[in-house]
Structure 1
Amino acid sequence: MDLSPYLVMVATLSLAILSPGPAIIAATQTAFAHGRDRALPYGIGLATGASLWCLFALLGLAVVFRLHPALFSGMKVLGGLYLIWMSWGLWRAATLPLPAAADGRFGRSFWGGIVLNLSNPKPALFYSALILSVFPDPLSVARQIGIYAACLSTELFWYVVVVLVMSTTAMRSRYFAARFWIDRAAAVALFGLGLVLIFQR
């Protein structure tokens, strides 16, 4: 089995996860304010909720392409344009103030983390575009399972790492110092994938 598409997917997803947004900021601030005992289940919930969008994207793509194969090319172009649009937003965001953190309206528990990430449907578009760009052919059930396992593992890994690292206050300044480069690296990666998705045949 060729592992290179999975490596590309994991690398791109990692950059997207680490680019500061409401969920990762919520995990960070929960770790700062409440410590790892409370923040760890919350971070795992956030990761699980985000990975469900990958599952929804996989199931939706499989059904759509099975019923309407002619939509495949159109979806690739739309997915590529979405990735390019997202890359522009990340590039600009690197020099802007951080977005507001998601508040505790869903609670700071495992289930609260799941609900928080499910309340934002944008990851479904991101996952759809990412999967189409890295795996351009229709997917078998076995490959769909492999993709979901890789995405879930990546989400869990980074949310757990962020919570554990940010539970130590000494890391706060280093995290915010690296934000510019994280955003810019993610923007370049997404822009490249967008172009590949549009022009690859």
Structure 2
Amino acid sequence: MLQTFLIVWLGVAAAQASPGPNMFAVAGVALSTGRRDALMVVMGIATGSLLWSLFCALGMGALFTAVPALLTLLKFVGGFYLLYMGWKALRTAARGVDANIRATRPSASALAAWRRGLLVVMTNPKAVLMWLAITTFLYGAGLGGAQVLLFGPIVATSAILIYGFYAWLFSTRTATSGYARYWRWIEAVFGAAFGAFGLVLVGSGLRDLRP
């Protein structure tokens, strides 16, 4: 079992470290409102990982496989949520106000930051597909629902370490001073990135609806 967990974790860690909605959410919050809020986003992502492991252990993976329309629906939900986040960032950049600079912007509540991380990972089809792959591999290796559930804390811990590093990196003095100078451009980049991810998900959902 440990060897199987190690093999799967290597793939999970690579997926977590690669650019995506989770990483952009952590980086954006770290730059704009600081390390504490970014770490709460990380905890929200870790909580989502535990929930996905629970859902898959209870048969959610098999449900998505049996009813592909559910995954299509999630693509639309996640896509429009990312488009909304992108629109907010682009609107802030276009307005050209100083409200988004950390020195003058109030920190969000810990609950709001945690909720943002949870929403990003729970509406991210990349996470769903990753957990479907995890579930398939673990069951294919002869493990059961209890082992899938046990793998959840491993993924959550990995998320805390990897995204926690991003939270630290993007909240360093060098990063925040650069943000203070070029925040409009950085917000525009984040907005474009979220928008691109959102469009890809919505486009994938539309393709799923084709006969």
In which range does the TM-score fall when normalised by the shorter chain? 0.5 to 0.7
Aligned to 1:36: none
Aligned to 1:180: 188
- The C-alpha deviation readout for 1:50-81, integer Å capped at 9, x for no partner, is 42233223323432527856765233112111
Is the 1:65–1:72 contact (alpha carbons within 8 Å) kept by the matching residues of 2? no
Aligned to 1:160: 168
Compared with structure 1, are the counterparts of its residues 156 and 191 closer, same or farther at alpha carbon in structure 2 (3 Å cutoff)? Answer: same
Aligned to 1:126: 123
Is the 1:62–1:138 contact (alpha carbons within 8 Å) kept by the matching residues of 2? no
Aligned to 2:91: 96
The two structures have a TM-score, normalised by structure 2, of 0.60
Write the distance in 1 (CA, Å) between the matches of 2:154 and 2:203.
Answer: 25
Aligned to 2:96: none
Write the distance in 2 (CA, Å) between the matches of 1:72 and 1:149.
Answer: 30
How large is the RMSD of aligned CA atoms in angstroms?
A: 3.9
Write the distance in 2 (CA, Å) between the matches of 1:195 and 1:61.
Answer: 26
Write the distance in 1 (CA, Å) between the matches of 2:113 and 2:59.
Answer: 24
Write the distance in 2 (CA, Å) between the matches of 1:90 and 1:46.
Answer: 14
Is the 1:88–1:187 contact (alpha carbons within 8 Å) kept by the matching residues of 2? yes
Alignment of 1:1-201 (within 5 A): 1=7, 7-9=14-16, 10-12=18-20, 13-18=22-27, 20=28, 24=29, 28-29=32-33, 31=34, 40=35, 43-65=38-60, 68=63, 72-97=67-92, 103=107, 113=110, 115-120=111-116, 122-123=119-120, 125-127=122-124, 129-137=125-133, 139=135, 140=138, 141=148, 144=152, 147-165=155-173, 169-193=177-201, 195-196=203-204, 199=208
Is the 1:93–1:183 contact (alpha carbons within 8 Å) kept by the matching residues of 2? yes
Structure 2: tracts of 5 or more residues without a match? 1-6, 94-98, 139-147
**Aligned length in residues:** 177
* Paired residue type of 2:90: T
Cα drift, residue 123 of structure 1: 3.3
Write the distance in 1 (CA, Å) between the matches of 2:106 and 2:55.
Answer: 28
Is the 1:50–1:123 contact (alpha carbons within 8 Å) kept by the matching residues of 2? yes
Give the helix-richer structure, 1 or 2: 2
Write the distance in 1 (CA, Å) between the matches of 2:41 and 2:64.
Answer: 34
Compared with structure 1, are the counterparts of its residues 56 and 78 closer, same or farther at alpha carbon in structure 2 (3 Å cutoff)? Answer: same
Write the distance in 2 (CA, Å) between the matches of 1:130 and 1:161.
Answer: 24
Bigger radius of gyration: 2
Structure 1: tracts of 5 or more residues without a match? 32-39, 107-112
The two structures have a TM-score, normalised by structure 1, of 0.62
Write the distance in 2 (CA, Å) between the matches of 1:169 and 1:138.
Answer: 40
Write the distance in 2 (CA, Å) between the matches of 1:44 and 1:189.
Answer: 22
Write the distance in 2 (CA, Å) between the matches of 1:80 and 1:59.
Answer: 20
Write the distance in 2 (CA, Å) between the matches of 1:194 and 1:7.
Answer: 24
Is the 1:57–1:124 contact (alpha carbons within 8 Å) kept by the matching residues of 2? no
Cα drift, residue 160 of structure 1: 1.0
Percent of paired sites with the same residue: 7
Compared with structure 1, are the counterparts of its residues 176 and 165 closer, same or farther at alpha carbon in structure 2 (3 Å cutoff)? Answer: farther
